[in-house]
Chain A
Amino acid sequence: MKNALAGVERALFLTLVFAAFAAAAAGLAARAADRVAVHYENERNGYAIVRVLAPEGSAGLMAAEAALAEAPHVVNAARMSANRAAMLLTQWGGAEIGAEDIPALRLIEVEIAAAGPNADAAGDITAALARGGVTAEVIAAPAEIAGGGMAARVRTAALWGAVAFGLVMGIIVSLAARGLAARRRELVTVMCDLGATRSQAAGRIADEAAVMGLYAGLLGGALAGLTGLVVMLLVIPGASAEALPAMILPIDLAPIVAAPLGAAVAAGAGARSAAAYFHAKAARLG
């Protein structure tokens, strides 16, 4: 890190910091998208509406509620009030709807516990209702074939998008580190003249670049983490400095941990290949 913050080295160092920051920020953004998608998917899969077909009237609703209390997967069940229906219709349709405009409802909102991928919660609840003498339709979130599964695609896109962006930043770091090797060309030439092998000369330059990449990655990663915290405080309702530690999972920190390691590896590799080239040029004239 000798002279790392002066002259050309400073420009190079700042380039590495920026690339590490961008890669870490992209990783954090991907983690945020992943967590939002997971949350959305859980919410979607954890909700269903039971429409009671028979018996009619409040007797049917009471029988359904009793059956749902014993039904598998059901965490909570509550009749949908006219006010709630009006609110939902207003939210979804846009036009203002009053509770007095809502006819008598035979709907029960059901909160469903997370089930395995092969579980048929809607079928199990329908069967439980039938055993309670209730004919009902359970309206759950649509399956993938019916338009569901967007969250999985978002998660995949976020992951691979961040990986691709990180690789591009790695290439930028690697190319920038070649500039460091070019600045050390005289050292490579002298080492070559004094009998250093290619791996010795390239290794020395690579070590210096890797250390610079490590420091730049630490700084870039820390800046990205700080930015992430600020964004969380501003964007997430109810987020506070006290609540943040509980909101952050260890895996969320992966991009910040990866930034210095990735920057060190990319910078070291770029500088090594350039130094090896310069050694080859110095070792063999003609």
Chain B
Amino acid sequence: MARLNPTDIELFERGVLVRLSNVDAGYGAATVLLGVDFEARAGEVALVTGPAAAGKTTLTHVLRLALPPRSGRALIMGADMARTSGRQLAEVKRKIGYVAENPTFIEHWSAFDNISMPLRMVGKKPRQYADDVRELVDFVGIGEAADLPMEKLSGAERRRAAIARALAAKPHLILADDPTAGMSPADGRRVVKLLAEMRRVGAGVVIASQDESLAECAPMDVWRIERGRIARVAAPLEAETQE
């Protein structure tokens, strides 16, 4: 098992959750990300915008440790992706809450069971997490639907369940890939505000979306990605937000 680099750990302890340096990444023969430099910090929100097929989801895959860079350096919570073993990667993954564009659930389980799965995986008993998960379920607005099997939930409820699951284990880093897809603008903004709230408990939040107007929901670092190249276009301005 490769040891974590002390300098990388120190960077993580200083609040740098993610640092990509000149990263290329892709699938098969296609290279989707080209020379990407990106950073996300604890207690901050980053919005990655860009047109369809620009590389937003691919960037999310790199950040959630599912897609190793072809070149460059990807440092995710102190772990250099190229030098880290499978077991260590799994440990880092447990600190990431991921909301996929099309979230996968255990369809015959209830939403409650799906949401509490990260907690069961770390050995917590139902009596230890039941109240917290109920609170989370109310927080994301699923309510009574939490006790229904996932297959009975609407698209918007599934997305909220995915957000609740991502937040359940109190992750250091929250990645949300197009979290407002299929929602009304009002619902979408509510969801983004909800995700952005997690910065107040010290989590870093990265939201990928085509909708640039989401930047108005909370103070955010705004990045624009186009044809695999990324650039930071705005730093958070607390005063301009509509919280």
Contacts and interface: CB of A to CB of B under 8 A. Distances in A.
Contacts of B67: 284-286
A282 B86 CA distance: 13
A187 B61 CA distance: 19
B93 A186 contact: no
Contacts of A3: 108
A285 B106 CA distance: 21
B94 A190 contact: no
A193 B27 CA distance: 19
Interface stretch (B39-47, B96-104, B180-188, B196-204): B96-104
A189 B104 CA distance: 8
- Judged by DSSP, the binding face of A is helix
A39 B87 CA distance: 59
A193 B184 CA distance: 27
Contact of B121 (A191, A198, A286): A191
Contacts of A187: 106
A194 B105 CA distance: 11
B117 A283 contact: no
Nearest to B87: A197
A3 to B, nearest CB: 8
Given A186-B105, A186-B106, A191-B121, A285 B93 contact: no
B91 interface: yes
A188 to B, nearest CB: 10
A195 B171 CA distance: 11
B153 to A, nearest CB: 15
Given A190-B105, A284-B67, A286-B67, A196 B121 contact: yes
Contacts of B105: 186, 190
B149 interface: no
Among B27, B92, B117: residue with most chain A CB under 10 A = B117
A114 to B, nearest CB: 61
Contacts of A200: 90, 121
B135 interface: no
Contacts of A197: 86-87, 90
> Which interface class (under 10, 10 to 19, 20 to 34, 35 or more) fits B?
20 to 34
B66 A283 contact: yes
Interface string A178-213: 000000001101110111111010000000000000
B224 interface: no
B219 interface: no
A186 B114 CA distance: 12
A194 B118 contact: yes
Among B94, B104, B105: residue with most chain A CB under 10 A = B104
Contacts of A285: 27, 61, 66-67
Contact of B104 (A193, A195, A283): A193
Nearest to B85: A197
Given A194-B121, A195-B91, A286 B86 contact: no
B236 interface: no
B106 A195 contact: no
B100 A193 contact: yes
Interface in B78-132: 86-87, 89-96, 98, 100, 104-108, 114, 117-118, 121
A194 B93 contact: yes
Given A186-B107, A190-B117, A286-B27, A195 B68 contact: no
A197 to B, nearest CB: 4
Nearest to B106: A187
Among A197, A284, A286: residue with most chain B CB under 10 A = A286
A193 B94 CA distance: 8
Contact of A196 (B90, B95, B100, B165): B90
Given A197-B86, A285-B67, A186 B104 contact: yes
Contacts of B90: 195-197, 200
Interface string A251-267: 00000000000000000
15 contacts: A187-B106, A189-B104, A190-B104, A191-B121, A193-B64, A194-B94, A194-B121, A195-B92, A195-B121, A196-B90, A197-B86, A283-B86, A284-B67, A285-B27, A286-B28
Interface of B: 25-28, 61, 64, 66-68, 86-87, 89-96, 98, 100, 104-108, 114, 117-118, 121, 165, 169
Given A190-B105, A196-B90, A197-B86, 8 more contacts: A193-B104, A194-B93, A195-B91, A195-B94, A195-B118, A200-B90, A200-B121, A282-B66
